[in-house]
Amino acid sequence: MTKDYYAILGVDRKATKDDIKKAFRKLAQKHHPDKGGDENKFKEVTEAYSILSNERKRREYDSYGRTFAGGGAGASTGGFDPSQFSGAQGQGSPFGEFDFSDIFSGFSGFGDIFTGGEGASQVARGRDISIDIEISFKEAILGARRSMLIAKVSKCEECVGTGAKKGTKMKECSVCGGSGRMHETRNSIFGAFSAVRTCKECEGTGKIPTERCNVCSGHGVLRREEEISVSVPAGIDNGEMIRLPGQGEAVKNGTSGDLYVKVHVKPHPIFKKEGVNIVMDLPIKITDALLGSTVPVTLIDDKVLEIKIPQLSNAEETLRVRGKGVHAQGAQGDLLIRVTIALPKKISSRAKKAISELKEEGL
């Protein structure tokens, strides 16, 4: 009797490759014998996937209810042959590009490296961490240096990360024989799978201390507060991230993670940043706009600059003071002053008379 592979995987006959792959992954994890599942059901699910994941076999199955190259219902091989799968999804695998490490990654003893053979050693790496800091607009423009205390997993200062008590020697790990790795082999319906994992006793070093450090109990790392200095570059924007390599959390016999610092810039009541330029609004009197004037302006570095306001031809104009913007990464911005006319809230009788005379002049 022809098997309904679509029903076995619980998918529609129009299901996409991704739909079929997702359904198989879910059912394979559920029924795998190493996870206490039904071995026969697992074989059935695997057989269905080997047919429906292969375009040619799927076409044959849809057309004739069987395949003609083995593995299908009514095929000359008598069903799915597990020996076609050797522990990796290489060429010739009936599973195409399906990654079986998704299924086996959760198995006990196979958490470090799953290769289907000899595993390559991997250097341990600590976690990346992130913090937020707030700086003033002035610090964002001119640059700054900040120091802060953060709690993180760091190298033990007593043993300098070795895990050994000062003055004691290291000896070969008796568990892994000094290799730092443990080789394990497990049998499944697909054959034998080999895995290599880090030795838990020596944590991959191959050596253990004759006496462990009293401060970190031999771990080489511990959680403590550490002062971190952050150099904020000139011209940084709000929300930008600074990466400090190796300043994240430490791990014994490995490399430390990175520290990411997110910068929040406080808004300034007068100045704004636009690219490498600094922008400010400068309201002036009507008389200064008509006749021109010189106005003192306090810059972001607290220096006072005398700005010459020419006779304005428009109610709003922008003046450019070159070189007074952001100086960062070889760029030199300008100070843009948006000059606007500030209208008086009250006008005296004398001023009204003068304005009336100006009106008669056509101004």
* Res. 264 pLDDT band, cuts 50 70 90: very high
258 plus 275 within the same structural domain: no
Share of the chain above pLDDT 90, in %: 38
Question: In this predicted structure, what is the pLDDT of residue 358?
Answer: 77
CATH code, domain with 215: 2.10.230.10
259 plus 338 within the same structural domain: no
12 plus 75 within the same structural domain: yes
85 plus 14 within the same structural domain: yes
115 found inside a domain: no
172 found inside a domain: yes
In this model, does residue 120 exceed pLDDT 80?
no
111 found inside a domain: no
123 found inside a domain: no
In this model, does residue 98 exceed pLDDT 70?
no
177 plus 243 within the same structural domain: yes
DSSP 157: T
CA angle 240, 242, 243 (to 5 degrees): 140
118 found inside a domain: no
In this model, does residue 360 exceed pLDDT 90?
no
Report d(CA 291, CA 352) in Å as an integer. 18
* Res. 122 pLDDT band, cuts 50 70 90: low
Query: b/e string for 254-277 if b means 16 or more Cβ within 10 A?
Result: bebbbbbbebebeebeebebeeeb
213-253 pLDDT, tens per residue? Answer: 999 988 889 999 999 999 999 999 999 999 999 999 998 87
CATH code, domain with 340: 2.60.260.20
Report d(CA 263, CA 139) in Å as an integer. 11
193 plus 252 within the same structural domain: yes
110 found inside a domain: no
81 plus 199 within the same structural domain: no
Cβ pair 276, 328 in contact under 8 A: yes
Please give the model's pTM, rounded to 2 decimal places: 0.58
* Res. 191 pLDDT band, cuts 50 70 90: low
100 plus 138 within the same structural domain: no
257 plus 298 within the same structural domain: no
In this model, does residue 106 exceed pLDDT 60?
no
Residue 98 class from Cβ within 10 Å (0-12 exposed, 13-18 middle, 19+ buried)? buried
Range of the domain at 321: 271-360
Residue 323 class from Cβ within 10 Å (0-12 exposed, 13-18 middle, 19+ buried)? exposed
Question: Going by C-beta distance under 8 Å and a sequence separation of 6 or more, which residues neighbour residue 345?
Answer: none
279 plus 238 within the same structural domain: no
64 plus 88 within the same structural domain: yes
Residues 65-84 have a mean pLDDT of 47
Share of the chain above pLDDT 70, in %: 81
300-318 pLDDT, tens per residue? Answer: 999 999 999 998 878 889 9
Over the chain, what is the mean pLDDT? Answer: 81
Question: In this predicted structure, what is the pLDDT of residue 206?
Answer: 84
86 found inside a domain: yes
Question: Of 241, 265, 289, which one is at a domain's C-terminal end?
Answer: 265
Question: In this predicted structure, what is the pLDDT of residue 1?
Answer: 55
197 plus 297 within the same structural domain: no
Question: In this predicted structure, what is the pLDDT of residue 150?
Answer: 93
- Looking from the CA of 253 toward its CB, the CA atoms found within 13 Å total 19
* Res. 97 pLDDT band, cuts 50 70 90: very low
278-296 pLDDT, tens per residue? Answer: 999 999 988 888 889 999 9
- The DSSP bridge pattern shows strands 277-284 and 271-274 to be antiparallel
Domains identified in the chain, total number: 3
Cβ pair 252, 160 in contact under 8 A: no
Question: In this predicted structure, what is the pLDDT of residue 266?
Answer: 97
73 found inside a domain: yes
Q: Where is pLDDT greater, at 184 or 344?
A: 344
Residues 131-144 have a mean pLDDT of 95
In this model, does residue 30 exceed pLDDT 90?
no
Question: In this predicted structure, what is the pLDDT of residue 180?
Answer: 82
Which one, of 56, 49, 43, lies nearest residue 20 by Cα?
Answer: 49
Question: In this predicted structure, what is the pLDDT of residue 109?
Answer: 42
Q: Where is pLDDT greater, at 187 or 266?
A: 266
In this model, does residue 117 exceed pLDDT 60?
no
- The DSSP bridge pattern shows strands 335-341 and 277-284 to be parallel
Question: Of 231, 248, 265, which one is at a domain's C-terminal end?
Answer: 265
- The DSSP bridge pattern shows strands 207-209 and 170-172 to be antiparallel
Which tokens in the block code for residue 256? 């430390």
Question: Of 265, 285, 314, which one is at a domain's C-terminal end?
Answer: 265
Which tokens in the block code for residue 353? 């008379």
Cβ pair 326, 347 in contact under 8 A: no
11-15, 35-39, 132-136, 331-335: which range is least confident on average? 35-39
